[in-house]
Amino acid sequence: IFPWFNPGEPILWWTPNPRSVLFIDQLKIKRSLRKTIKKLLKSGELSITLDTDFEKVMRACAEVPRNGQDGTWISEEMLTAYLALHSAGHAHSVEVRFQGELVGGLYGVAIGKMFFGESMFSKKSDTSKIALVALALQLNEWGFSIIDTQVETAHLNSLGAENIPREIFESIVSNLTQQSFTPKKWELNPEWPNWIDTHLQQSSTLHS
């Protein structure tokens, strides 16, 4: 379940059926996005990190305007709760910076080898996609296989997310949350951009 409600409402918890998920081996990285990532990284204008500014990422997710949404469920009460989860090592963030400014990112909760995405934001084109790609490739390196993306959107589908029945999702969660994963610190491996090509080659082989 995950929280999702409007300002002034009681906290509402959701468990949609079907459930949107991203199987990491199905991650779609358009070649144009790959070129953008590599170009900006090479120029030094782009940097991606994990867990360096969790609170700022959450606040950005709350403040960035979204089509069809009025207000945000990320209240100060929720912020405090997730900051506690972050301090305990359960909640994590991805930060995308352009020329030193935070322009995109996401946050979520990891239990065992299951990552539950909570929210993402983008102040510059493609930066939330870059955040998800970097996270997915790093999680794959750590032995994760799936990211909970909660509810279907065209944005997530463009990256390979798909809907699965709730009972299948619950079975996956039951299995993966029991698997041990205790990294000392969440850090993005500097080799992650090279994994993009490896992933594309593997995807091409799988779909050929």
The enclosing domain of 67 has a CATH number of 3.40.630.70
**Token pair of 183 as six digits:** 């990294």
How far is the C-alpha of 121 from the C-alpha of 53, rounded, in Å?
14
Tell me if 6 is assigned to some domain: no
4: in domain? no
| Position 15 pLDDT exceeds 90 | no
Torsion over CA: 148, 124, 201, 136 (sign): negative
What CA–CA distances, in Å, run from 20 to 14, 76, 81, 148, 160? Answer: 13, 27, 24, 7, 10
Would 162 be classed as within a structural domain?
Answer: yes
The residue type at 22: L
The percent of residues above 90 in pLDDT, for the chain, comes to: 79
* Mean pLDDT calculated for residue range 109-126: 97
From residue 59, alpha-carbon distances to 26, 64, 96, 123, 178 in Å are 30, 9, 14, 13, 31
Q: In the predicted model, what is the mean pLDDT of residues 188-196?
A: 95
The number of angstroms, rounded, from the C-alpha of 59 to the middle of its chain's C-alpha atoms is 16
Provide the pLDDT confidence category of residue 5 given band limits of 50, 70 and 90: low
Residue 97 within a domain: yes
Relative to beta strand 114-122, strand 146-150 is: parallel
Position 175 pLDDT exceeds 70: yes
**Mean pLDDT within 145-158:** 97
91 is in which domain, residue-wise?
23-206
Q: How confident is the model at residue 73 (pLDDT cuts 50, 70, 90)?
A: confident
Q: Which two tokens stand for residue 124?
A: 């510059």
- The whole-number pLDDT of residue 201 equals 87
CA distance 30 to 71: 32
Total Cβ atoms within 10 A of residue 146? 21
Side chain identity at residue 11, one-letter code: I
Instruction: Mean pLDDT check: name the lowest of 8-17, 94-103, 139-148, 188-197.
Output: 8-17
Q: What tokens were used for 146?
A: 């799936």
Q: Is residue 106 part of a domain?
A: yes
Residue 208 has pLDDT above 60, yes or no: no
Whether the pTM exceeds 0.85: the reply is yes
Mean pLDDT, all residues of the chain: 91
How many domains are contained in the chain? Answer: 1
pLDDT band at 179 (very low <50, low <70, confident <90, very high): very high
Give the three-state DSSP class for 2: strand
Residue 7 inside a domain? The answer is no
Task: Look at residue 190 in the predicted model and tell me its pLDDT.
Answer: 95
Residue 11 lies in a domain: no
User: What pLDDT is stored for residue 49 in this prediction?
Assistant: 98
30-64 residue pLDDT tens: 999 999 999 999 999 999 999 999 999 999 999 98
Q: What mean pLDDT do residues 13-19 have?
A: 86
Give the tokens for residue 203: 């995807």
Asked if the structure places residue 5 within a domain, the reply is: no
